[in-house]
């Protein structure tokens, strides 16, 4: 009797369906398996290892309080869990269902040796239930959103169990410190202190954001303003359920919560895309782009441009501010993500996949669905995406969305420039020394990108 409770990207006790299910079912063995093998190239990146360390620390303490301490193990998750089931004689494993292709493959393997009970809990609605009348999955967001709304509100969030009954003699696990998830020297995560990973931190972030929900539509595109929730890493790691976010935001702002809830639904849409196109992170949604003549990042000039982009030294202040915010804090404002991604793809003609991989290692919210879908959306390679020929102009975007203070914060060498010059420092009477020249002019880049698009269209 009893169950193994398998945690993955669902590191919470409140409104966690697998936790609820095991609470009523005898002794519980909670386990987290650090698995760098199963996800292959998509193994958890450096910024998220920092996050994971702190999140697991919080979860361990919370489970300890409930009476059933968290077991930490390492290895290929399905093998580790099958072995654990043999060793303890517990045949049943409860878990929240996840949609990344590697998790689905691992689930299928594990289900051959144990009774695996999967619970819906990672999205607002199970992706396979949000379909058209004919049962087809949506490829475009707006009809998906309408169909999702028909199923909303989501279930009412459920409280965590009062206590969990431990195994009389739980096996010995590993020590979190031995996993060395935190950076050592140099400690590049100093700026990550803006975050509080873990379930408590997620609740605090939501509380902090709720008074702003009604103004979200007006402020969400302004990088200089804290107008968004910053819940993305918490949602990725499942420290708070999307259903909880939905209910709290609706209660706070009623009809004015709409724009925020719609954005939250993009996360569900992305996971639905992953379900339909498991190779979303490594294949163009539109095959036409397979023949695109991207510049190589191994050749000298492509390599130098790519490095300048990663380091925030492109000479475009808005992009450099974003890339430096990303490096320092593990997060970047959504509007700036779009501008920076578009610049890499269309101005520098570098394949979106290189950018997506960079984000994978540096974002604390790196998420296979959200990251891949958004990169493909910006690139124009996705099934639902902005067309390639719509090329964002970074300088007018920067001025339009009032990024001046944001630039001052992240590109200190420009902080003395006034609003009229900060977006284009080279127009200032005395441009600051030490800030790079733009890698390429906008008009020239635009013409080059459109010519490359023409070439692929005509099959040249």
Task: Choose the stretch contacting ligand FAD; rule: CB under 6 A; options: 38-46, 188-196, 232-240, 285-293.
Answer: 232-240
Task: Choose the stretch contacting ligand FAD; rule: CB under 6 A; options: 37-45, 120-128, 265-273, 413-421.
Answer: 265-273
Q: With binding defined as CB under 6 A, does residue 374 bind ligand FAD?
A: yes
Task: Choose the stretch contacting ligand FAD; rule: CB under 6 A; options: 27-35, 322-330, 358-366, 424-432.
Answer: 358-366
Q: Is 10 annotated as a binding residue?
A: no
Cis bond upstream, residue 186 (ω within 30) = yes
Q: With binding defined as CB under 6 A, does residue 385 bind ligand FAD?
A: no
Coil, strand, or helix at residue 336? Answer: helix
Q: With binding defined as CB under 6 A, does residue 263 bind ligand FAD?
A: yes
| Binder among 334, 386, 402, 415 for ligand FAD (CB under 6 A) | 334
Question: Residue with structure tokens 């049943």?
Answer: 92
Q: Is 216 annotated as a binding residue?
A: yes
Q: Is 88 annotated as a binding residue?
A: no
Give yes or no for a contact between 248 and 204, defined as CB atoms under 8 angstroms apart.
no
Q: Which is nearer to ligand FAD, 116 or 264 (CB)?
A: 264
Q: Is 43 annotated as a binding residue?
A: no
Q: Which is nearer to ligand FAD, 21 or 202 (CB)?
A: 202
Q: With binding defined as CB under 6 A, does residue 264 bind ligand FAD?
A: yes
| Binder among 366, 404, 452, 453 for ligand FAD (CB under 6 A) | 366
Residue 172 DSSP label:
P
Residue 280 C-alpha from the chain's centroid = 14
Q: What is the DSSP string of 80-110?
A: HHHHHHHHH---EEEEE---SHHHHHHHHHH
For the CA atoms of the chain, what is the radius of gyration?
A: 23
CB atoms within 10 A of CB 73: 18
Q: Which is nearer to ligand FAD, 3 or 241 (CB)?
A: 241
Q: With binding defined as CB under 6 A, does residue 145 bind ligand FAD?
A: no
Question: Is residue 99 classed exposed, middle or buried when 0-12, 13-18 and 19+ CB atoms within 10 A define those classes?
Answer: buried
For the chain, the residue count is 460
Query: In the bound complex, what is the minimum distance in angstroms from residue 374's beta carbon to ligand FAD?
Result: 3
Give yes or no for a contact between 338 and 391, defined as CB atoms under 8 angstroms apart.
no
Q: With binding defined as CB under 6 A, does residue 381 bind ligand FAD?
A: no
Q: What are the φ and ψ backbone dihedral angles of 259, each rounded to 5 degrees? A: -60, -35
CA distances (Å), 448 to each of 69, 360, 437, in order? 58, 28, 19
Quote the CA–CA distance of 227 and 211 in Å, as a whole number.
10
Query: In the bound complex, what is the minimum distance in angstroms from residue 405's beta carbon to ligand FAD?
Result: 17
Binding-site ranges for ligand FAD (CB under 6 A)? 220, 228-232, 235-236, 263-264, 266-267, 270, 334, 337-338, 341, 359, 363, 365-367, 370-371, 374-375, 378
Binding site for FAD: residue ranges?
Answer: 216, 228-232, 260, 365-367
């Amino acid at each position: 009797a009893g169950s193994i409770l398998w945690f993955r990207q669902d590191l919470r006790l409140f409104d966690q369906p697998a936790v609820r299910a095991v609470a009523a079912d005898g002794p519980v063995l909670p386990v987290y398996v650090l698995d760098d093998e199963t996800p292959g190239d998509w193994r958890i990146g450096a910024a998220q290892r920092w996050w994971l360390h702190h999140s697991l620390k919080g979860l361990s303490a919370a489970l300890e309080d409930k009476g059933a301490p968290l077991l930490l193990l390492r290895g290929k998750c399905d093998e580790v869990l099958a072995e654990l089931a043999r060793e303890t004689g517990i045949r049943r494993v409860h878990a929240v269902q996840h949609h990344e292709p590697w998790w689905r493959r691992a689930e299928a393997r594990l289900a051959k040796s144990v009774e695996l009970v999967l619970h819906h809990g990672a999205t607002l609605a199970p992706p396979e239930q949000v379909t058209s009348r004919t049962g087809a999955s949506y490829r475009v967001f707006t009809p998906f959103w309408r169909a999702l709304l028909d199923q909303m509100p989501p279930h009412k969030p459920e409280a965590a169990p009062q206590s969990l009954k431990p195994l009389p003699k739980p096996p010995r696990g590993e020590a979190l410190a031995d996993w060395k998830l935190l950076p050592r020297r140099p400690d590049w995560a100093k700026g990550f202190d803006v975050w509080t990973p873990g379930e408590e931190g997620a609740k605090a972030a939501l509380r902090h954001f709720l008074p702003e929900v009604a103004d979200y539509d007006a402020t969400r595109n302004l990088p200089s303003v804290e107008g968004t929730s910053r819940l993305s890493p918490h949602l990725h790691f499942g420290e708070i359920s999307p259903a909880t976010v939905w209910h709290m935001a609706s209660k706070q702002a009623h009809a004015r919560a709409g724009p925020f809830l719609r954005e939250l639904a993009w996360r569900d849409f992305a996971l639905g895309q992953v379900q339909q196109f498991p190779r979303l992170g490594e294949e163009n949604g539109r095959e036409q782009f397979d023949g695109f003549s991207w510049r190589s990042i191994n050749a000298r000039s492509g390599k130098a441009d790519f490095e300048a982009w990663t380091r925030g030294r492109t000479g475009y202040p808005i992009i450099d501010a974003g890339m430096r915010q990303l490096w320092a804090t593990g997060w970047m404002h959504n509007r700036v993500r779009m501008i920076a991604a578009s610049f890499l793809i269309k101005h520098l003609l570098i394949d979106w996949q290189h950018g997506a991989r960079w984000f994978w290692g540096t974002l604390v919210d790196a998420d296979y669905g959200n990251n891949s879908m958004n990169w493909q959306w910006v690139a124009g390679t996705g099934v639902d995406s902005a067309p390639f020929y719509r090329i964002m102009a970074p300088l007018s975007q920067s001025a339009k969305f009032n990024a001046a203070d944001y630039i001052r914060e992240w590109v200190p060498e420009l902080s003395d420039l006034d609003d009229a010059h900060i977006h284009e420092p080279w127009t200032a009477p005395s441009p600051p020394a030490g800030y790079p020249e733009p890698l390429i002019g906008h008009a020239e880049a635009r013409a080059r990108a459109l010519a490359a698009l023409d070439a692929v269209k005509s099959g040249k």
